A = this chain, B = another copy of it.
Amino acid sequence: MRRLGIHSFVWTGGQTQDGLEMALRKSAEHGYRTIEFAYLRPEKFDLGRLAKLAQSLDVEIGVTMGLPLDRDVSSEDPGVVAAGKTMLADAVRAVRDIGGNKLGGILYSAHTKYNRQPTKRGWDNSAAAIAETAELAKSCGVDLVLEVVNRFETNLLNTTAQGLKFIGDTGSDHVRLHLDTFHMNIEEANPAAAIRLAGDKLGYFHIGESNRGFLGDGVINFDLIFDALLDIDYKRDVVFESFSTTVVDEGLSLACAIWRDTWTDNDPLAAHARKFIELKMDEAKRRRATSARP
């Protein structure tokens, strides 16, 4: 992996400039070297100041988001799709302005529990919108990564295989996948095989436990995950994500159905996650070397 990062939602609901600055400082203190901001709204924050602070801390910034239903690029309504494309373009520019290096998340549909089946026309609308957004992202020096999420958070891309087909349909070489162990635990028949299937199309990786709490408080076999990341020689960022009712972002908490305090103190959570990920990654490297050594 390139840099180990943390989702800002571990620290703050993300509604204030102060909150985001605190999150940057906390992440750096804990030794994380990239941070993920969700639903960054340029009109609410002083992006230049966040960029400067991040740079001074040597913490890189990635941004993720999901579309609202009225700007859903997988809609069949041209007006809604157009509004979605504008939103995506604005987001790309905000990432550029904050000095960020990637835009990820559920960019290809609404971030919602859908109440309808996906359609072929919606898929095509979405692929076209993402292709167009990718052009802009490329010119802005921003990576575009699509998060494959569970069935309750989108109806379009629930598996890696779907994600790869979608990327093929965009025709763009600038779009990659953003995989997440929490979502893979629900959707993939074989999460490690999914990582190997993604191969060099994997552009961003989330480490999260099956209940979105502390790593270890769940069922995910992380050894298999880290083995697979080494199998594909994954060299991009790995970001830890965990949600609890202890930190509330009205929109994200509801979209992600966070009803429990899986933790109440984020400092030990962040400290443990870094130790866990680094230990597991080292073990996977050693296991790989031991396996191959006669």
User: Chain A interface (Cβ within 8 Å of chain B)?
Assistant: 113-118, 150-152, 155, 158-162, 164-165, 185-191, 193-194, 197, 210-211, 213-221, 223-224, 227, 245, 254, 257-260, 262, 272, 275-276, 279-280, 282-284, 286-288, 290-294
- Cα A276 to Cα B223 in complex, Å, equals 13
Find A290's partner among B117, B118, B152, B189 (CB 8 Å cutoff): B189
Q: Is the CB of B185 within 8 A of A292?
A: no
Q: Is the CB of B210 within 8 A of A290?
A: no
Find A288's partner among B193, B284, B294 (CB 8 Å cutoff): B193
- Cα A152 to Cα B111 in complex, Å, equals 13
Most B C-beta atoms less than 10 A away, residue of A165, A187, A284, A290: A290
Shortest beta-carbon distance from A267 to chain B in Å: 15
Which of chain B's residues have a CB closer than 8 A to the CB of A227?
A: 190, 193
Q: Is the CB of B217 within 8 A of A161?
A: no
Tell whether A294 pairs with B219 under 8 Å between CB atoms, given A113-B257, A115-B254, A185-B185: no
Which of chain B's residues have a CB closer than 8 A to the CB of A197?
A: 291-292
Which of chain B's residues have a CB closer than 8 A to the CB of A115?
A: 254
